[in-house]
Amino acid sequence: MINVGIIGSTGYAGENVVWILCNHPEAKIIFVNSHSYTNIPFNKIYGNFNGYFEDECISNSDMEDKLSQIDVLFLGLPSGKSFEIVDKANKMGLRVIDMGADFRLKEQKNYESWYGLKHESSHLLQNSVYGLCELNRENIKTARVLANPGCYPTASILAMAPLLKHMLIDNDSIIIDAKSGVSGAGRSASIGNLFCEVNESIKAYAVATHRHTPEIEQELSKFTEKDVFISFTPHLVPMNRGILATCYAKLTKVISEEELNELYSEFYKEEYFVKVLKDLPETRWVKGSNQCHISVRVDKRTNRVIIVSAIDNLMKGAASQAVQNMNIMFGLKETLGLEFFSMAP
C-alpha cells in the first residue's frame, strides 16, 4: 500500500486526486492539506465525498509532522509556492509529484523570465523529471521529484510528437490554437471567471505570452536536432472542463492522411490512454477520464497537417496523469485506478 499526502487538496486538481485515490486499490490517503480550509472536513467543501472521505484538512504545521508517515507527496500549489516543501520532502527521501509549474522548465532563467519569480530550488531542476507518461516513461520510473505536465502542454505535445519524431514538418511552422474550460483557471475567486463574465462568450488570452509556451517548446525540441518555437494561443470557453487543441504545421513531404493515421496509430499502439481516431475529437468524450483523443487531417491545398487533440484539463491534464505517474514510479500497473472512461451525456 502506498501512503499518500496531498498538499493543496481543495483546488480542483487536488480534489480530483483525492477522488481518484479514494478508489485506488493500492493507495491510502494519510492526510489532505489546505491553506484556505484548515480543520474543515473535506466533505464539507466537496459534498460528493459525504460518506466516503470525511477527513479534516490539516494545517501546514500539522502536515509537516506527518511527512514521515507517507511515501509520496502530491502538490497542487500556485507557481512559486512549492520550493520549500519539495526541498524538505526530497531530503527526507519522499517521492514528490508536483502538479504545479515550479519544476517543469529545466532552465532556471526560462522559469524566472516566463513566471516572473525567483526559482528557489534550482539545485533540483536538473534531476527533476518531466512526467508526460507516454513519452518519458523510463525516466519517470526512477524519479524522485516529478513535474506533472501542464494541461495545454499535455494535449499539444501528444498531438505533435509523432510528426517531429519522424521529421515530417517544418519545425518553425507550428501553430497551436487551444481552448479550455473555466476550471483551468483554478478555484480562486476572480471576476474574469464569474458566470456572467464567461457564459455566452469565448475569448483569447495571454496571446504570445502564455506560460505554457516554453514548456511545450522544451519538450517538443527533444524530438529534433533543432530547437522548436511555436505560436500558441489559448482561449477560454464557457464549459467546466476540457481542452481541445488544434495544431497546425507545414509538411516537409507529400504524405496522405491515411499514411499519417497509420503512423500515429503505430506511435501510440501500446498506449492505453491515447486513442487515435478517424472521427474528430470532442471534449465531452474524454471528460472525467485519463484519455487523450487525437485525430489527423491533411490539407492538400496548403500542404499543412492539422492535428486535433482532446483531454480533460483536470484529469489527463492534471490529476489522473499525476496518479498515472505515481503508478509508474512505484512499479504498479500503469492503468491501476484509472480504467474508467467518460460518462455521457
Structural domains in the chain, sorted by start: 2-148+318-329 (3.40.50.720), 151-311 (3.30.360.10)
Confidence at residue 64, expressed as pLDDT on a 0 to 100 scale: 87
CA distances to 268, 283, 310, 331 from 137, rounded to whole Å, are 13, 25, 21, 11
Of 180, 218, 186, nearest to 16 (Cα)?
186
Residue 47 clears pLDDT 90, i.e. is over it:
yes
Confidence tier at 192 by pLDDT (50, 70, 90): confident
Q: Are 275 and 289 in contact (CB under 8 A)?
A: no
Whole-number Å distance between alpha carbons of 310 and 317: 10
Cβ contacts of 190 within 8 Å, gap of 6 or more: none
Backbone φ, ψ for residue 186 (5° rounding): 90, 180
Confidence tier at 97 by pLDDT (50, 70, 90): very high
Whole-number Å distance between alpha carbons of 23 and 113: 40
Alpha helices in the chain (DSSP H): 12-22, 42-45, 60-66, 83-91, 108-115, 133-141, 151-165, 195-198, 212-221, 257-267, 319-329
Interval 232-248 mean pLDDT: 97
245 DSSP β-pair partners: 178, 309
Residue 76 clears pLDDT 90, i.e. is over it:
yes
pTM above 0.75, yes or no: yes
Whole-number Å distance between alpha carbons of 95 and 91: 10
Burial class from Cβ neighbours inside 10 Å (0-12, 13-18, 19+) for residue 127 reads exposed
Write out pLDDT tens, residues 122-133: 999 999 999 999
Q: What is the mean pLDDT of the chain?
A: 97
- The SS3 call for residue 305 is strand
Sequential DSSP letters for 67-115: GGG-SEEEE---TTSSHHHHHHHHHTT-EEEE-SSTTT-S-HHHHHHHH
Per the annotation, the verdict on 292 as an active-site residue is no
Write out pLDDT tens, residues 81-90: 999 999 999 9
Confidence at residue 26, expressed as pLDDT on a 0 to 100 scale: 98
Catalytic residue from among 57, 151, 247, 292: 151
Write out pLDDT tens, residues 267-314: 999 999 999 999 999 999 999 999 999 999 999 999 999 999 999 999
Confidence at residue 190, expressed as pLDDT on a 0 to 100 scale: 85
Whole-number Å distance between alpha carbons of 189 and 144: 33
Sequential DSSP letters for 106-163: S-HHHHHHHH-S--TTGGGTTT-EE--HHHHHHHHHT-SEEEPPPHHHHHHHHHHHHH
Confidence at residue 188, expressed as pLDDT on a 0 to 100 scale: 81
In the chain, DSSP finds a helix count (H) and a strand count (E) of: 11, 14
Q: Are 103 and 128 in contact (CB under 8 A)?
A: yes
* Total residue count of the chain as it appears in this document: 345
Confidence at residue 185, expressed as pLDDT on a 0 to 100 scale: 87
Of 146, 144, 151, 149, nearest to 132 (Cα)?
149
Residue 189 clears pLDDT 80, i.e. is over it:
no
Rounded to a whole number, what is the distance in angstroms from the first to the last CA of the chain? Answer: 35
Confidence at residue 187, expressed as pLDDT on a 0 to 100 scale: 86
Write out pLDDT tens, residues 155-166: 999 999 999 999
Interval 38-48 mean pLDDT: 98
